[in-house]
């Protein structure tokens, strides 16, 4: 039996190994073409506040490959980060998100804040702030309608350069959230002195929140500490009503998840916003 297991493990290993290397090479080339041909699209996932009103939307990139169909950002973003291709992709995302929000406004929708995910590479670039200012200027989007999502890892070194950049963003009235909070082996204490506005609790803690006592304690702890530090709290990955209720009890501020709304194209977002606004007009 041991031999059998060992053999299977070996076969799995070689298969996964060759698959990874060749797949990555193919994907890298495909990605280059995707950048040139702009095969990307932005989807928007609504975030709702405690009253069920729209708090903001998160821009999430989608890649439609001409022959392979949809490829998940969880697969190509990490690759693009190692190859540097993340830079042109990120510029495209930022510009598209700002333009899309302007389109909504011009079509008569209420202005809504859009959150864009930042790559560490992008954040640490010397010309990052200049590019950002340029994009806002070119698209005409009000800076307070933009917020940026960073992961813990980006800020963990706590370098003066990173703090200066965050301060500059705050001065510009651009929001900053810590994404996937709790997965980066760090504590809230390092956030104490950073000019950020929001923490987003990673969905791995939300998933078991109604069953796992550990996760209940972790989530309650994060929320109460974040509130003491004056930060807003978003729960990611809210899929069930039970999870939503529990998070309401814990005084969570903002909710994001398939149970409330899935990521959707811009035109669907427009419809979603209109129907949400109509609901609130009739119930209030």
**Residues in touch with ligand C2E (CB under 6 A):** 45, 59-61, 72-74, 77, 90, 93, 117, 119, 149, 179-180, 203, 237-239, 256-258, 263
Whole-number Å distance between alpha carbons of 280 and 54: 10
CA angle, 104 then 106 then 112, to 5°: 40
- Taking CB under 5 A as the rule, does residue 149 contact Mg ion? yes
In the complex, what is the shortest distance from the CB of residue 204 to Mg ion, in angstroms, rounded to a whole number?
A: 8
**Nearer to Mg ion (CB atom), residue 30 or residue 236:** 236
Interstrand relation of 114-117 and 54-65 (parallel, antiparallel or unpaired): parallel
The burial of 117, by beta-carbon neighbours within 10 Å (0-12 exposed, 13-18 middle, 19 or more buried), is given as buried
**Nearer to ligand C2E (CB atom), residue 136 or residue 182:** 182
Whole-number Å distance between alpha carbons of 179 and 14: 34
Among 45, 56, 117, 243, binds Mg ion (CB under 5 A): 117
In the complex, what is the shortest distance from the CB of residue 105 to ligand C2E, in angstroms, rounded to a whole number?
A: 21
**Nearer to Mg ion (CB atom), residue 6 or residue 78:** 78
In the complex, what is the shortest distance from the CB of residue 269 to Mg ion, in angstroms, rounded to a whole number?
A: 16
Whole-number Å distance between alpha carbons of 146 and 93: 12
**Nearer to ligand C2E (CB atom), residue 44 or residue 194:** 44
**Nearer to Mg ion (CB atom), residue 165 or residue 263:** 263
C-alpha to C-alpha distances, 261 to 48, 55, 61, 206, 225, nearest whole angstrom: 9, 13, 16, 16, 27
In the complex, what is the shortest distance from the CB of residue 94 to Mg ion, in angstroms, rounded to a whole number?
A: 14
In the complex, what is the shortest distance from the CB of residue 4 to ligand C2E, in angstroms, rounded to a whole number?
A: 34
Site for Mg ion in 163-182 (CB under 5 A): 179-180
Judged by DSSP in three states, 140 sits in coil
């Amino acid at each position: 039996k041991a031999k059998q297991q060992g053999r299977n493990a070996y076969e799995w290993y070689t298969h996964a190994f060759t698959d990874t290397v060749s797949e990555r090479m193919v994907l890298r080339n495909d990605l280059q073409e995707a950048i040139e041909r702009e095969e990307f699209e932005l989807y928007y996932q609504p975030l709702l506040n405690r009253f069920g009103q729209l708090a903001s939307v998160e821009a999430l990139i989608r890649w439609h490959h001409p022959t392979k169909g949809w490829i998940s950002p969880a697969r190509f973003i990490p690759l693009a980060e190692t190859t540097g291709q993340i830079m042109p992709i990120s510029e495209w995302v930022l510009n598209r998100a700002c333009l899309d929000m302007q389109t909504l406004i011009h079509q008569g929708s209420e202005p809504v804040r859009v959150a864009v995910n930042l790559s560490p590479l992008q954040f640490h670039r010397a010309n990052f702030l200049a590019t950002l200012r340029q994009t806002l200027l070119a698209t005409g989007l009000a800076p307070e309608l933009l917020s940026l999502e960073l992961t813990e890892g980006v800020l963990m070194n706590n370098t003066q350069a990173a703090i200066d950049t965050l301060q500059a963003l705050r001065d510009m009235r651009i929001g900053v959230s810590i994404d996937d909070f709790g997965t980066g082996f760090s504590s809230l204490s390092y956030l104490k002195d950073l000019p950020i506005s929001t923490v987003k609790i990673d969905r791995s803690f939300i998933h078991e929140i109604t069953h796992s006592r550990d996760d209940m304690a972790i989530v309650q702890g994060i929320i109460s500490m974040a509130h003491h530090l004056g930060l807003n709290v978003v729960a990611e990955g809210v899929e069930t009503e039970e999870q939503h209720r529990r998070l309401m009890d814990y005084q969570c501020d903002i909710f994001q998840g398939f149970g409330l709304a899935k990521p959707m194209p811009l035109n669907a977002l427009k419809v979603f916003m209109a129907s949400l606004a109509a609901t609130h007009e009739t119930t209030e």
